[in-house]
Amino acid sequence: MSISLNRRIFMIITLILVAGSLGFLVLSSFTGALVYFHTPTEALAKNQELTGKKIRIGGMVQTGSLAKESGTLKIRFLVTDGKAQIPVRYEGMVPDLFREGQGVVVEGTWRAGEDFLADTILAKHSEDYVPVEMNEQGIAKSKESLLKSLK
């Protein structure tokens, strides 16, 4: 059976429009959505270029640095990777696993020369399992294995 040209054009145009807008939707949302992860040393080194960007900083909460402002949910602490440290401020309830001397990942917008104002603290992993982002060995391992398998 032959199919009329008009109907075929209608179908093709609809398909292209739908597929195109879906593709556009996915890709345009994707480009803005990446949040890069830095250690305190990296973040300080890239001070200028990171300004205004949403980033994650990961390290340890330096022992003795955690200060709570009495009567509020405001806290301040230092995130350190052993070499550099970044002062972080946060307001709100912290996750169960957040404490001094433990690994933490904070997310927020980087402003050069100011304290890092975190809008999220990630530490939702239990003590048995450190966040993979925090575990250099784990990262090196999984990278190795992926590379091996890609070869």
Partner 1 sequence: MWIEIAHFSTLIALLLAGVLLVAPLAGLRWQQVVWIRVGRQAAFFACGLLTLASAGLILSFLNHDFSVKYVAEHASLKLPIFYLATAMWGGHEGSLLLWAWLLSLFIAIAAWRHWQTHPVSMPWVLSISGGLLLGFLLLVVFLSSPFERLMNPPFDGRDLNPLLQDPGMVFHPPFLYMGYVGFAIPYAFAMAALITAQGDSEWILATRRWTLFSWAMLTIGIVFGAYWAYYELGWGGYWAWDPVENASFMPWLTGLAFLHSVMVQERRRMFRTWNLFLIITTFALSLLGTFLVRSGVLSSVHAFATDPGRGVYILIFMAALLLFSFGLLTSRADLLKETPKLESGLSREFSFLINNLFLVAGACTVLLGTLYPLAVETLSTAKVSVGAPYYNKVFIPIMLGMLLLMGVGPIIPWQRSSWTRLRQEFLPALLLGILGAAVAPLIGITHPSGAIAFGLILFVSSTHLKDVLHNIRIRMQRDSLSAPGALWRLIGRNKRRYGGLFVHLGTLVTVAGFVGSGLFQEERDLFMSVGDSMQIGSWNLTLESIGKTARRNWQADEAVIRAERVGAEPIHLTPQKRVYNEHSQPTTEAAIYSTWREDLYVVLGDGVKEGVWAFRVYRNPLISWVWVGSTLMVIGVFWAMLQGRRAARSQD
Q: What is the CA radius of gyration of the chain?
A: 23
Contact between 5 and partner 1 per CB under 8 A: no
Please report, as residue ranges, which positions from 125 to 144 form the binding site for partner 1 (by CB under 8 A). 125-129, 131-133, 135, 138-139, 141-144
Provide long-range contacts, Cβ within 8 A and 24+ apart, for 34-38.
35/107, 37/105, 37/133
Tokens standing for residue 70: 């009495």
Contact between 151 and partner 1 per CB under 8 A: no
Look up residue 71 and give its amino acid.
G
Contact between 67 and partner 1 per CB under 8 A: no
Binding characters for partner 1, 10-49, by CB under 8 A (x = yes): xx--xx--xx--xx-xx--xx-xxxxxx------------
Angle at 113 between CA 109 and CA 115, to 5 degrees: 60
Q: CB-wise, 51 or 145, nearer to partner 1? A: 145
123 contact partners, CB below 8 Å, separation of at least 6: 94, 95, 96, 97, 98, 102, 103, 104, 105, 131
Cα(81)–Cα(110) distance, integer angstroms: 17
Least distance (Å) between residue 149 CB and partner 1: 4
Binding window for partner 1 (CB under 8 A); candidates: 45-53, 82-90, 108-116, 124-132 = 124-132
Binding site for partner 1 (CB under 8 A): 1, 3, 7, 10-11, 14-15, 18-19, 22-23, 25-26, 29-30, 32-37, 56, 68, 70-73, 91-94, 96-97, 124-129, 131-133, 135, 138-139, 141-150
